Structure 1
Amino acid sequence: MEGYKYQKRQVTLDKDREFRIGEGKISGYASIFLGALSLLAVLAYLFPSHLTTTELRQVYDAESLQKALKYGMYFSLFFGALTFYLKKYRRMGFAGIALTATAFLLGGYRVPVGPVEAERLSLGVDWLILAFLGSVIVFVSLEKLFPKYKNQVILRKEWGLDLFYFCFNHLAISAILIYANYHVSHFDWAVSAQVQALIGSVPIALQLVLVILCADFVLYWEHRIFHKIQCLWPVHAVHHSVQNMDWLAGSRSHFIQTFSERAMVMVPLYLLGVGEAVLNLYVAFAALQAVLIHCNVNLPFGPLKYIFVTPQFHHWHHSSEKPAIDTNYSAHTTLFDWLFNTMHFPREHWPAKYGTTGKFPQSYLGQTLYPITALLKKH
Structure 2
Amino acid sequence: MSEYQYQERQVPRDRHSEFRLGEGKISGYASVFLGGMSLLAVLAYLYPSYLTTTELRQLYDAEYLQNILKYGMYFALFFGAVTFYLKKFRMMGFSGMALTGTAFLLGGYTIPVGPVEAKRLSLGVDWMILAFLGSVALFVTLEKLIPKYKNQVILRKEWGLDLFYFCFNHLAISAILIFANYHISHFDWAISERVQDSISNIPIFIQFALIIVCADFVLYWEHRLYHEVQFLWPIHAVHHSVETMDWLAGSRGHFLQVFSERAMVMVPLYLLGVEESALNLYVAFAALQAVLVHCNTKLPFGPLKYIFVTPQFHHWHHSSEKPAIDTNYSAHTLLFDWLFRTLHFPKGHWPAAYGTTKKLPQSYLGQMFYPITALLDQRKTTSSRSENP
Instruction: State the TM-score bracket (shorter-chain normalisation).
Output: over 0.9
Partner of 2:305: 305
State the identity as a percent: 79
Partner of 1:325: 325
Q: In structure 1, what is the Cα distance between the partners aligned to 2:74 and 2:276? A: 37
Deviation (angstroms), 1:347: 1.6
Partner of 1:227: 227
Partner of 1:236: 236
Q: In structure 2, what is the Cα distance between the partners aligned to 1:290 and 1:53? A: 21
Equivalent residue of 2:295, what SS? coil
Deviation (angstroms), 1:83: 0.2
Relative to 1, partners in 2 of residues 1:251 and 1:2: Cα closer, same or farther, differing over 3 Å?
farther
Partner of 2:54: 54
TM-score of the pair, normalised by structure 1: 1.00
Q: What are structure 2's unaligned runs of at least 5 residues? A: 380-389
Equivalent residue of 1:299, what SS? coil
| Correspondences of 1:54-203 after superposition (within 5 Å) | 54-203=54-203
Q: How many residues align?
A: 379
Counterpart AA for 1:334: L
Counterpart AA for 2:227: H
Counterpart AA for 1:147: P
Q: In structure 2, what is the Cα distance between the partners aligned to 1:12 and 1:360? A: 23
Misfit runs of 4+, over 6 Å = none
Equivalent residue of 1:170, what SS? helix
Deviation (angstroms), 1:2: 5.9
Equivalent residue of 1:83, what SS? helix
Q: In structure 2, what is the Cα distance between the partners aligned to 1:324 and 1:2? A: 16
Partner of 2:384: none
Q: In structure 2, what is the Cα distance between the partners aligned to 1:213 and 1:262? A: 16
Counterpart AA for 2:316: W
Counterpart AA for 1:175: A
Relative to 1, partners in 2 of residues 1:70 and 1:2: Cα closer, same or farther, differing over 3 Å?
farther
Q: In structure 2, what is the Cα distance between the partners aligned to 1:288 and 1:228? A: 27
Q: In structure 1, what is the Cα distance between the partners aligned to 2:199 and 2:123? A: 34
Structural RMSD (CA): 0.6
Partner of 2:382: none
Equivalent residue of 1:14, what SS? coil
Partner of 1:338: 338
Counterpart AA for 1:165: Y
Deviation (angstroms), 1:378: 1.4
Deviation (angstroms), 1:230: 0.3
Equivalent residue of 2:369, what SS? helix
| Correspondences of 1:214-293 after superposition (within 5 Å) | 214-293=214-293
Q: In structure 2, what is the Cα distance between the partners aligned to 1:16 and 1:168? A: 28
Deviation (angstroms), 1:358: 1.1
Deviation (angstroms), 1:26: 0.2
Deviation (angstroms), 1:186: 0.2
Q: In structure 2, what is the Cα distance between the partners aligned to 1:133 and 1:55? A: 19
Counterpart AA for 1:242: V
Q: What are structure 1's unaligned runs of at least 5 residues? A: none
Deviations 1:93-152 (A, max 9, x none): 000000000000000000000000000000000000000000000000000000000000
Q: In structure 2, what is the Cα distance between the partners aligned to 1:38 and 1:304? A: 39
Deviations 1:17-67 (A, max 9, x none): 110010000000000000000000000000000000000000000000000
Deviations 1:301-337 (A, max 9, x none): 0000000000000000000000000000000000000
